[in-house]
Amino acid sequence: MAAFKAWVIEKTESGQTLSLRDFDGADLMDGDVTVRVSHSGLNYKDGLAMTGRMPVVRRFPMIPGIDFAGTVEASDHPEYRPGDAVVLTGWGVGETHLGGLAERARVRGDWLVPLPEGLSSAEAMAIGTAGYTAMLSVLALERHGLTPEAGPAVVTGASGGVGSVAVALLKRAGWHVIAATGRGDEADYLKSLGAAEILEREALSGEPRPLAKERWAAGIDAVGGKVLANALAMTKGGGAIAACGNAGGMDLPSSVAPFILRGVALLGINSVTTPQAPRREAWARLARDLDRDLLKRMTATVPLAEAGGLAERLLEGRVRGRTVVAIT
C-alpha cells in the first residue's frame, strides 16, 4: 500500500511530538479489513492523546483518532466486502492500535459496524464515540426501568460532545432535561437541543454532601469527580445516574448514602469494548431517534490539516458539541 496522510504521535526524550505527515502503508498494524477513511471525529480522549497530558497512547508511533467512518478497500473478513460503508468506535484504536485521523486504517473486522441505513459517513462521525456513548447511557437508564414519568433527567458537561447528544436524545424520549454546564453563554444552544432548564456548574462542583435535596430521577454524567458525587446525592429514590466520562477527574468523593438510603444506582458505561449486539442496537437507535437538524446544529467540520490544532481547545472546554474531521 502506498503512503497516505496521517497525524502521527511520536515519542521523544522530552515527551512526544504531533505532526501531519506521510505514513507508509506497510507500517499499518495487523487486521483483516482495510478502510479508506472518509471522516473521523475529535473526542476528549483524542485531545489527551495528541497533547500527551495523560498516558493515553500505549505504543509509538501512533495515529490518533478513536473513531472513524469510511469504505472498505480490502477484506479477509466474511462479513465485509470492498465498497461496504462501515463505522468504528473504541477497541483501543488511537491508543494501542493505529487510529482514524488518517486516510487509511487497518483493523479487525469484528470491531466494525455496518453504517446504519439512513446515516451518511459524515453524520456517523458527527455522532461519533461521544454520541454513541450517550446512546449507550440512555439505553442503560431504560433497562433500569426509568421513564420520563419518574421525574427530570440531568446531563452534566452538557455543552460537550456526549452532553449535547444526550440532551437531544433524552428530549426526544420525552424527558424534562436539566442541562448542567460551566458555560453560561451556551444556554441558548442547549435549549435549542431540547434542554428545559440550565443548571450552572457551581451547583454541582462544591464539596459533596452524603445526601442533598432530590432534584432528578435520572442522569447522564460525562464529568466524574465532585460533579458526579453531587449528582448522585441529588438523585431521587430509585433513580440512577449513567456515568460515562471523567473530564472532571477519576475520583468519586461520594458515600454509600445515596445507594443504601435512596436505592440510587450508578450505571457504568463502557463504550470501548461493547459487544456487537448492544453496539449495533445503539447505532440503530441513533439512526432512528437522533434529529438530523439538531445533529447539524451541534457539529462543526474541519479538514484533516486542522485537526491537530484543536486538541488544546478541546481539553480546555472551548469546543462546542461535536467536531467532524473530513479526511478526503
Question: Does the structural domain 129-268 have CATH classification 3.40.50.720?
Answer: yes
Listed range (61-70, 71-80, 277-286, 309-318) with the worst mean pLDDT: 309-318
Encode pLDDT of 207-262 as tens digits.
999 999 999 999 999 999 999 999 999 999 999 999 999 888 889 999 999 999 99
Closest to 136 (Cα-Cα) out of 294, 293, 321, 283: 283
Query: Confidence band (pLDDT; 50, 70, 90) for 320?
Result: confident
pLDDT at residue 185, as a whole number: 86
Sequential DSSP letters for 281-297: HHHHHHHHHS-HHHHHH
* Straight-line distance from the first to the last Cα atom of the chain, in angstroms, rounded to the nearest whole number: 17
Handedness of CA 156, 270, 7, 296 (dihedral sign): negative
Are 280 and 113 within 8 A, CB to CB? yes
Query: What is the number of other CB atoms lying within 10 angstroms of the CB of residue 205?
Result: 17
Q: Which secondary-structure segment (H or E) carries 157?
A: none
CA distances from 186 to 125, 137, 317 (A): 22, 23, 12
Averaged confidence pLDDT in the chain:
95
Neighbours of 272 (CB within 10 A): 15
Where residue 153 falls (left for φ over 0; alpha for ψ -120 to 50; beta otherwise) is beta
CA distances from 197 to 27, 174, 298 (A): 50, 14, 18
* Domain locations in the chain as residue ranges: 4-115+298-326, 129-268
Q: Looking at the whole model, is its pTM more than 0.75? A: yes
**Is residue 151 pLDDT above 90, yes or no?**
yes
CA dihedral 303, 308, 310, 314 (to 10 degrees): 120
Topology classification of domain 4-115+298-326 = Quinone Oxidoreductase; Chain A, domain 1 (3.90.180)
User: Under a CB-based contact definition with an 8 Å cutoff, are residues 124 and 39 in contact?
Assistant: yes
Euclidean distance between CA atoms 172 and 45, whole angstroms: 27
How many other CB atoms are found less than 10 A from the CB of residue 250? 8
Question: Which helix (H) or strand (E) segment is 22 a member of?
Answer: strand 15-23
Q: How confident is the model at residue 318 (pLDDT cuts 50, 70, 90)?
A: confident
The answer to whether domain 4-115+298-326 and domain 129-268 are alike in fold is no
d(CA 302, CA 224): 29
pLDDT at 317: 81
Mean pLDDT of 73-101: 98
pLDDT of residue 194: 97
pLDDT tens per residue across span 9-39: 999 988 899 999 999 999 999 999 999 999 9
* Per-residue DSSP letter, 209: P
How many Å apart are CA 289 and CA 281, to the nearest integer? 12
- Cell 479489513 locates to 33
> Residue 30: enclosing H or E segment and its boundaries?
none
pLDDT confidence of residue 63 = 98
Alpha-carbon dihedral 13, 99, 325, 90, rounded to 10 degrees:
-120
Q: Do residues 103 and 4 touch, judged by C-beta distance below 8 A?
A: yes
By the 10 Å C-beta count (0-12 exposed, 13-18 middle, 19+ buried), 158 is classed as buried
Q: Quick one: how many helices (H) and strands (E) in the chain? A: 10, 15
Residue 9 pairs with which residues in a beta bridge? 18, 62
Residue 252 near residue 82, CB atoms below 8 Å: no
Q: Which class for 32: exposed (0-12), middle (13-18), buried (19 or more C-beta within 10 A)?
A: middle
